[in-house]
Amino acid sequence: MTENAYETIPGSEVKTLLRVLDGQRRHVLGALDGLEEEALRRPVLPSGWHCLGMVQHLALDVERFWFRAVVAGDEETIRALPSGDEAWKVDPETRAAAVLDSYRMEAEFADAVISATAADAALAWWPRDLFGEPHLHTVRDVLLHVITETACHAGHLDAARELIDGRRWLVLT
């Protein structure tokens, strides 16, 4: 999201939260900048995930799930949600650029949902089958949850990148 785009969002709290989330999104993509397709698919931890799978997880299980499904209640999105660890599995025929572009696109969709919804608005849908009774109740709660999850995964990607080629992504802000 561009800096000027934040000016159209009502409420300084949401603007601030979106700026923080956008910083974490940039961190995710920046940590992987310059990696070749093979390196993006190389598992470096015993659990076996790879960087491209992490980005796809962030696109589908985080951005799409929380904003299109939970906040907006989009029925088509809810019906098409991946199950289990499906989002972590990138089809070998899918190009890395397509996964990275999908993450960017889901972030744009999420920003549109957030921009159109008050911070204290109730959630449109809750996945009781996954999480039981709601533990998040407002758009603010979801924003804070997604910021935390994205930041955590950005750190995972930092570690993976360092294991792949030694490059370190140091963010001081």
The per-residue pLDDT for 9 is: 52
- The Cα 88–Cα 3 span in angstroms is 31
pTM value surpassing 0.75: yes
The per-residue pLDDT for 1 is: 47
Residue given tokens 């159209």 in the structure block: 8
Q: Is the pLDDT of residue 64 over 80?
A: yes
Q: Is the pLDDT of residue 22 over 80?
A: yes
What is the rounded average pLDDT for all residues in the chain? 93
The per-residue pLDDT for 88 is: 97
Calculate mean pLDDT across residues 113-125.
95
Asked if the 3-165 domain carries CATH number 1.20.120.450, the reply is yes
Helices (H), ranges, the chain: 12-32, 37-40, 51-57, 75-79, 96-115, 128-131, 139-165
Calculate mean pLDDT across residues 57-64.
98
Calculate mean pLDDT across residues 132-155.
97
Compute the Cα dihedral for 67, 60, 126, 152 and give only its sign.
negative
Q: Is the pLDDT of residue 7 over 70?
A: no
The per-residue pLDDT for 12 is: 84
Where exactly are the structural domains of the chain?
3-165
Calculate mean pLDDT across residues 141-154.
98
Residue burial 72-96, b: 16+ Cβ < 10 Å; e: rest: bebeebbeebeeeeebbebeeeeeb
Count the Cβ atoms, other than its own, within 10 Å of residue 35.
20
